[in-house]
């Protein structure tokens, strides 16, 4: 997913060692837009004066073993899903994303792979797995029930080399945006929790990454995915000119693709703008992902336009 790692412990979506502190390892009111975790972590010489929650009843090595098992099972599921898509592609002699069923399964697969890369690069991020894998499993069930399509040849409108270029870029960006949106949603929850005194008894959220770490991963995932989404939009326009004789016609799907692009551009700008960092930027990120989901489901399945074949 990412280019060569810049240094041990550093990844495309975050920093490995200094974020592995859980919910109360970082500052409670640090500016989420900054990449500095604050004075409460190792390497800064400061201490967190707030009372810390009691040690978890389950030993750390056992918790780590369970989380490692979860990662292994997620990786196994991803391998099996790759096999399913690979067999469909081999059996039909085409790229395995020619309909909504294949696009949806491929997109959530990329979401799982993006989560696995993030969890390996930033170990504390493995604790968000429930909030990534859970929606992925629900999505796969719904996709299987409502969008399943038999493997077969492409319809005439999709028989183009641009299918691989345009759709693969859209799938890749959608999957990474899923991790970004999940991190922003958890950031909003964790930010609220960190503004309150910690509970004496530890719980699930005490093992979660800090708000600063979640915000950083959300931002870096969006930075990674946004150029790919931009390329997908541009490639779609070039394909439209080849197929329909015009680059842009404000078809419903084109319109919502542009809305999503604007939303993510606004998020990246807000994330680096004073007064918009933190919660406001996170909400914009969620709006951007919501527009992607709306474009994928409602526009494809309900609206009519030149892209209506996408619902088959």
**pLDDT digit string, tens, across residues 218-276:** 999 999 999 999 999 999 999 888 878 888 888 888 899 999 999 999 999 999 887 78
SS3 223: helix
Return the pLDDT at 309: 55
Averaged pLDDT for residues 97-116: 92
For residues 301 and 311, the answer to whether their CB atoms sit within 8 Å is yes
Residue 6 pLDDT exceeds 90: no
User: Does the pLDDT of residue 62 top 80, yes or no?
Assistant: no
DSSP assigned state of 298? I
- Where is mean pLDDT largest: 27-31, 83-87, 157-161? 83-87
- Hey, what's the torsion of the CAs at 261, 3, 139, 19, to 10 degrees? -100
CB-based contacts of 243, cutoff 8 Å, min separation 6: 157, 160
- Range among 93-102, 110-119, 148-157, 159-168 rated most confident: 110-119
> What is the Cα–Cα distance from 174 to 192, expressed in whole angstroms?
27
Alpha carbons 94 and 49: distance in angstroms, whole number: 60
Tell me the HSE value of 165 on the side-chain side, using a 13 A CA sphere.
14
Distances (CA, A) of 4 to 7, 9, 121, 152: 9, 12, 12, 38
- The band of 216, judged by pLDDT with boundaries at 50, 70 and 90, is very high
What span, in angstroms and rounded, lies between the C-alpha atoms of 185 and 237?
Answer: 32
Arithmetic mean of pLDDT, 45-73: 59
CB atoms within 10 A of CB 227: 11
Spatial separation of the C-alpha atoms in residues 129 and 67, rounded to whole Å: 9
Exposure string of 155-182, with b = 16+ CB inside 10 Å and e = fewer, is: eeebeeeebebbbbbbbbbbbbbbbbbb
pTM for the structure as a whole: 0.77
Q: Which one is predicted more confidently, 45 or 77?
A: 77
pLDDT higher than threshold 60 for residue 179:
yes
- 123/116 Cα distance (integer angstroms): 10
- pLDDT at 280 (0 to 100): 94
Q: 34-38, 185-189, 190-194, 269-273: which has the minimum mean pLDDT?
A: 34-38
> 130 phi and psi, to 5 degrees?
-55, -35
pLDDT above 90 for 292: yes
The answer for residues whose C-beta is within 8 angstroms of residue 174's C-beta and 6 or more apart is 107, 110, 111, 292, 296
Q: How many Å apart are CA 70 and CA 89, to the nearest integer?
A: 29
Q: Is the pLDDT of residue 203 over 80?
A: no
Query: Is 10 or 136 the better-scoring residue by pLDDT?
Result: 136
- CA-nearest of 166, 101, 143, 165 to 311 is 101
**276 class by beta-carbon count within 10 Å (0-12 exposed, 13-18 middle, 19+ buried):** middle
Least trusted range by pLDDT, from 11-15, 106-110, 202-206: 11-15
CA distances from 86 to 82, 97, 236 (A): 6, 10, 24
Q: Which residues, 6+ apart, have CB-to-CB distance to 197 below 8 Å?
A: 50, 51
């Amino acid at each position: 997913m990412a280019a060569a790692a810049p240094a041990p412990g550093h990844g495309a979506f975050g920093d490995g060692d200094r974020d592995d502190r859980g919910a109360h390892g970082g500052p409670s009111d640090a500016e989420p837009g900054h990449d500095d975790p604050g004075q409460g972590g190792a390497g800064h010489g400061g201490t967190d004066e707030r009372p810390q929650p009691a040690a978890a009843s389950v030993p750390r090595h056992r918790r780590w073993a369970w989380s490692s098992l979860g990662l292994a099972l997620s990786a196994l599921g991803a391998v099996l899903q790759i096999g399913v898509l690979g067999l469909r592609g081999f059996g039909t002699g085409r790229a395995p994303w020619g309909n909504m069923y294949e696009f949806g399964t491929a997109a959530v697969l990329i979401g799982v792979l993006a989560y696995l890369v993030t969890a390996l690069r930033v170990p504390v991020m493995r604790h968000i797995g429930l909030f990534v894998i859970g929606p992925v499993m629900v999505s796969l069930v719904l996709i299987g029930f409502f969008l399943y399509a038999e493997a077969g040849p492409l319809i005439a409108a999709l028989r183009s080399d641009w299918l691989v270029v345009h759709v693969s870029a859209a799938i890749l960006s959608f999957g990474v945006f899923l991790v970004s949106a999940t991190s922003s949603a958890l950031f909003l929850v964790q930010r609220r929790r960190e503004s309150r005194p910690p509970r004496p008894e530890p719980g699930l959220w005490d093992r979660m990454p800090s708000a600063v770490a979640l915000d950083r991963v959300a931002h870096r995932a969006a930075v990674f995915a946004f150029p790919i989404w931009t390329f997908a939009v541009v490639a779609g326009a070039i394909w439209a000119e080849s197929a329909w004789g015009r680059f842009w016609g404000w078809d419903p799907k084109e319109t919502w693709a542009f809305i999503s692009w604007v939303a993510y551009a606004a998020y990246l700008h807000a994330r680096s703008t004073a007064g918009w960092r933190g919660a406001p930027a996170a909400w914009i990120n969620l709006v951007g992902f919501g527009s992607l989901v709306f474009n994928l489901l409602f526009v494809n399945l309900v609206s009519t336009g030149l892209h209506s074949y996408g619902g088959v």
